[in-house]
Amino acid sequence: MPLTDQSTSLLRSRVRPMRLTTMLVGVLSSAAAWGAFPDSMSAPPGWTGLKFKLSQAYPTALPTSAADTAKPWLAFDFKQPTQAPQYMQAVLDYCMEGNVDLTSPQKSFSDISTNSVRGWYHAPWLHPGREFMHGMTNERKSQAKQLGPAQTTPQTNWAVGFYNPLGGHTLGQVWKNETAPDPAKAQFPQGTVSCKLLFTNAPLTQVPYLKGSLVWHADILRQKDLKARPTVRLLQLDIAIKDGRAPATGWVFGTFQYEKAASTSAQWWKHMVPVGLMWGNDLTNIKANQPPTEQWINTDRGQKLHLGFRGLLNGPIDNPQASCVACHGFAQVPKSVANPTPALPKTNTWSKTMSNGNIDIYFQTIGAATPVSSSYQSLDYSLQLQSGFAKFASAHAAATGPASHAAASLAVPPVPEVKR
């Protein structure tokens, strides 16, 4: 998609007024000209409040310190129903360390680069869609009733994600050359963790179980009154772990949902209830309409919000016709703009018909860092990298024309994109 007016304004403010083409070429040729990738869309004139800061001091060498390489979740076997929740809790505690502000929830995760326990890092080039207060991007809209029986109107959802030091190193390698990011470097090491916070704009009257959740003011709707920022409430928290014990995919995905009744604690993260874990799509059982076995679903969660396709794991904000593993497995880009194969169906086609042929395609098993075919380059299950590449290529196309640079291939929709 083309750059928005806000993002164009941001770029112009960072590199001095000049012709658009010259400006974008300058942005693409050297982000180091101002010492950083852009953080987000621009704040309105006169804003002096909270501003998102992209954490981008990516480790130049693979981290080796005890804090940066700790893997407390390895003490638990995620395939065992009694240990799956312990595995998830170990990862959740790991993600919370040093990121939670007890006195000012608005500041929780606001500058993860200052974490005193370990570094956390954002994926770059999402700034054309990042709101400026917390760096959130727009997610899939929740239709009426998808967030519970009291939800009477569609609601917008927003999210921000980040990677631990091991994952941050890979981000830095991929984006080491700002002019030509290298998808082939997208091979995350064992122990990589990604954490993602997902918020809804739904009012408490429609999601009463979110009372007491983490509340952020956010720039999701521009207001004339700079102090009148809409509020969003944390509903879902996703985790992704590069864990070699997942034999087919190499990744384990989990999701939590907030529930007021889950705890009496005043700390919001104590109310995060596991929805489940998955490490494969279990295609054979899915096609036979049998319960999937490459996952664990928490049947004791209070709010029985929707899962994914035929019972596969997906969070309450995610697409009920998809799954965590399926969406992330197709984080790939074509190696060339010239007729990449296979020619996969568009999202609106496969999701409406859901024939066995489409199920075979979308819920196939894809290994870690494994391309779907020789025409593609895998991004090792990172949808954040895929989105960043697309925005990078779009900006380059706006400056120089889509056929004038190899980056154009990064903008071609590679596979059926299903917004989780």
Between CA 210 and CA 202 the distance in angstroms is: 10
DSSP state, 121?
A: B
Q: Write the DSSP assignment of 160-178 as a string of letters.
A: EEEE-HHHHHHHHHHTSSS
Is 15 exposed, middle or buried (CB count within 10 Å of its CB: 0-12, 13-18, 19+)?
Answer: middle
* 3 state SS of 296: strand
Give dist(CA 170, CA 375) in Å, integer: 22
Q: Which two tokens stand for residue 321?
A: 């016709």
**Using CA atoms, how far apart are residues 151 and 147, in angstroms rounded to an integer?**
6
Q: Is 232 helix (H, G, I), strand (E, B) or coil?
A: strand
- Structure token pair of residue 131: 């709101």
How far lies 105's CA from each of 90, 184, 234, in Å?
22, 38, 11
Q: Percentage of residues in the chain with pLDDT exceeding 90? A: 65
Q: Which runs of E-coded beta strand occur in 94-230? A: 137-138, 157-163, 193-200, 215-217
Q: Which two tokens stand for residue 69?
A: 């390489």
Residues 6+ apart with CB under 8 A from 284: none
Name residue, tokens 């040729």.
Answer: 29
* 8 A C-beta contact, residue 207 and residue 255: no
Please tell me the predicted confidence (pLDDT) of residue 225.
59
The CA-based dihedral angle spanning residues 226, 230, 236, 240, taken in that order and rounded to the nearest 10 degrees = -30
What is the chain's alpha carbon radius of gyration, rounded to the nearest angstrom? 21
* Collapsed DSSP state (helix, strand, coil) of residue 256: strand
- C-alpha–C-alpha distance, residues 120 and 14, integer Å: 25
Q: What is the pLDDT of residue 12?
A: 28
Of 52, 55, 329, 31, which Cα lies nearest the Cα of 165? 55
Q: Are strands 295-297 and 272-278 parallel, antiparallel or unpaired?
A: antiparallel
Exposed (0-12), middle (13-18) or buried (19+): which is 235, by Cβ within 10 Å? buried
| Cα gap 40→279, rounded to integer Å | 33
**Chain-centre distance for alpha carbon 78:** 22
34, 116 contact by CB (below 8 A)? no
**List of residues 6+ apart from 402 with CB closer than 8 A:** 337, 393, 408, 411
For the chain, list residues with pLDDT below 70: 1-35, 222-228, 337-355, 401-420
| Stated pTM of the model | 0.88
Q: How far apart are CA 76 and CA 144, in angstroms?
A: 38
